[in-house]
Amino acid sequence: MAEPLIIVGNGMAAAKLGRHAVAVVGAEPHLAYNRVLLSDVLAGKVTVAETQLRPAAWWQGLGVTLLYGTPAAGIDRAAKALVLGDGRRLAYSRLVLATGSEAIRLPIPGADLPGVTTFRDLADVHALMACARPGVRAVVIGGGLLGIEAASGLAKAGAQTTLIHVMDRLMERQLDARAAALLRQAVEAQGVCVELNARSAAIAGADAVTGLRLADGRVLPADIIVMACGVRPSSQLARAAGLAVDRGVVVDDGLATSDPDIFAIGECAEHRGTCYGIVAPAYEQARVLARRLAGEDARYEGSTVATNLKVSGVFVFSAGDIGPGGEDIVLADAGLGLYRRLVVRDGRLAGAVLYGDTADGPFYLDLITNRTPIADMRADLAFGPPVREAA
């Protein structure tokens, strides 16, 4: 009989590893779903059912017990048991923490008023769908990926939407100034008002939200305020169990925590000092852990971070290190709305930013990840993969 393997967390990382488990425990009352599609649900472009990653029959066919809507309350490491919120105890031989991350709420006055929400899960989307309609004024705080997706979804739902960001450009960690300017134009073309260099000071209102007060004294009228200011690893369960936790649950190259029978993957895990807040590294970690659980000597060496943004016709790709210090290869066509910047260091591609046409993103990511010498293809590198004539 297989060892009892329990996964805590019923998100995208757990769904990737699920075929190796005997039980999956999730706090949300839903089957695992694709969080990338939340803005499309908000905009009415896809249904909640269409976000589901695996149907119940898939899990049942593997003999996996699903306990969703049932939060984990603690880990009894001495007895090797997972304690559920309703008091039940599940014995385990191996335990995998895939608890994901939680939305950050700004610690400003009024943050607990009705009408203030985050944009992280289906519960948030349902709350926004219940009030997002023409005439409603919405303010989204945060100009990163989540904030842009939330603002786009609200605007598509008919809300009068303003997106504010404390930095001087959108997605400043992933985009250079030129790509960010193009992105701002595209977001504004969807009917979203973008305010940069805008710091939130307080949320106005007595019994409900009436506006957002900025540090410069202005007040933006609002009926809804969405905090999309980033996420932090959900590590409370691990911390309470005495596992090593820094920013996230600390894991080694085998994805093991400080307890060799407990592993962590996805957004809750911290590997070599890095917490990844996107899904691709979670999938890579799940694949490595699956091999290790099967007895292989697989190791996770870390991931090259790549970001894809596909919201209402806006296509952006960013990978690697796009900071200063390298040689730039730039291809731009303002008429077609295309822009790409490739950063070369030591004869290899170090980073890439694509706007408008992102189809070549995987090609550039592969070059970055594998540290492929590019001397032979440099002259044509900006045009994507080399065209190979048939023999």
- Beta carbons within 8 Å of 153's beta carbon, 6+ residues apart: 38, 39, 40, 41, 42, 43, 125, 128, 132
pLDDT of residue 384: 93
Q: What pTM was computed for the model?
A: 0.89
pLDDT of residue 21: 66
- Domain borders along the chain are 5-102+233-293, 116-227, 321-383
Q: In which residue ranges of the chain is pLDDT below 70?
A: 1-3, 18-21, 311-312, 387-391
pLDDT of residue 92: 95
Per residue in 35-70, pLDDT tens? 888 888 988 889 999 999 888 888 888 888 888 888
pLDDT of residue 391: 39
Look at the domain 5-102+233-293 and name its fold.
FAD/NAD(P)-binding domain (3.50.50)
pLDDT of residue 19: 63
pLDDT of residue 3: 57
CATH superfamily of 116-227: FAD/NAD(P)-binding domain (3.50.50.60)
Instruction: Examine domains 5-102+233-293 and 116-227 and report if their fold is the same.
Output: yes
User: How far apart are the C-alpha atoms of 354 and 280, rounded to whole Å?
Assistant: 18
pLDDT of residue 387: 60
pLDDT of residue 310: 80
